[in-house]
Amino acid sequence: MVAALPLTLRGATLRRRGRRLVGPVDLTLGPCGVTVAIGPNGSGKTSLLRMMHGLQRVAEGAVDWSLPEAEARQRQAYVFQHPIALRRSVLANLAYPLRLRGVTRAGARAKAEEIAARFDLTAQLGQSAPSLSGGEMQRLALARALITMPEVLFADEPCAALDGAATREIEGHLTAAAASGTRLVMATHDMGQARRIADEVVFLLHGRIHESGPAARFFAGPSTPEAAAFLRGDIVE
């Protein structure tokens, strides 16, 4: 199968009403591993992920997949910081992406039940999704994103509102997905989580990539004073 990766961003810039949200960004995402975007609030982590996923159109520059855009879109999934539940049952939420792709009702149902078991949601299958707890909801969002077995998974602060146990569960699912070949691109403000998961780090500041590189080297000794300050826990402006 021809891969959607690598993804190449060249001078990619996102603007809203004239204001620059992120960019210009030059970045290449290779075929495997976990890339974690870190940086202070407002540095453009979310915008970077949304731009790569194509939720927003770039104002300048280009976001190029190795496949035509329509095909590349079919191989990605995105988990939002605030999970969006369709006003349907958990089962229907899980089956939804498959149904969009034309999978039969029975086929989608079987897959949904299978992934629900993996994500410990079997008991909730018949429940209305908007009534789930925060942890269950994020598990549902992740399971729903992974049910299509995407080549690339974007996750924007997937554990932002969760307690320790729920965070551990989500991280487990994320690393499992990465281990089985899904390219993971995640934004987080939790440095511990970044250290636990990242293979590669992108440090953003003021909407630009300030520093990037292999996680081990970055955490051992960042090459810019701002990144070092950020890792120390100082306020970086």
Partner 1 sequence: MGDLLAGLGEALRLIVTLDAELIEITLRSLRVTLTALVIACVIGLPLGGWLAVRRFRLRRAVIATLNALIGLPPVVVGLVVYLLLSRSGPFGVLNLLFTPTAMIIAQVVIITPLVASIAHQAMRDLWSEYHDLLISMNATRGQRILTLLVDGRRALLTAALAGFGRAIGEVGAIMIVGGNIDGATRVLTTAIALETGRGQFALAVGLGLILIGLALVVSWASHWVLRTERQGTW
The binding site for partner 1 (CB under 8 A) comprises 53, 55, 70, 73-74, 76-78, 80, 84, 86-89, 91-92, 95-97, 100, 126, 128
Query: Cβ 224 to partner 1, closest distance in Å?
Result: 32
Query: Judged by CB, which is closer to partner 1: 45, or 53?
Result: 53
User: What is the side-by-side strand order in the sheet with 19-29?
Assistant: 19-29, 7-16, 60-64
**Shortest distance (Å) from residue 126 CB to partner 1:** 7
Residue 231 CB, nearest distance to partner 1 (Å)? 31
Q: Are 179 and 112 in contact (CB under 8 A)?
A: no
How far apart are the C-alpha atoms of 148 and 165, rounded to whole Å? 26
Count Cβ atoms below 10 Å from residue 115 Cβ, excluding itself.
Answer: 20
Distance of closest approach, residue 192 Cβ to partner 1, in angstroms: 27
Q: Which residue has the tokens 């100082």?
A: 234
Q: Which is nearer to partner 1, 92 or 204 (CB)?
A: 92
Q: Residue 16 corresponds to which amino acid?
A: R
77 vs 201, beta carbon nearer partner 1? 77
User: Which residue lies nearer to partner 1 by CB, 130 or 181?
Assistant: 130
Residue 230 CB-density burial (10 A; 0-12 exposed, 13-18 middle, 19+ buried)? buried
What is the nearest approach in angstroms of partner 1 to the Cβ of residue 210? 27
Q: Which is nearer to partner 1, 90 or 227 (CB)?
A: 90
Instruction: For residue 66, give both structure tokens.
Output: 């190795």
Q: Which two tokens stand for residue 55?
A: 């939720």
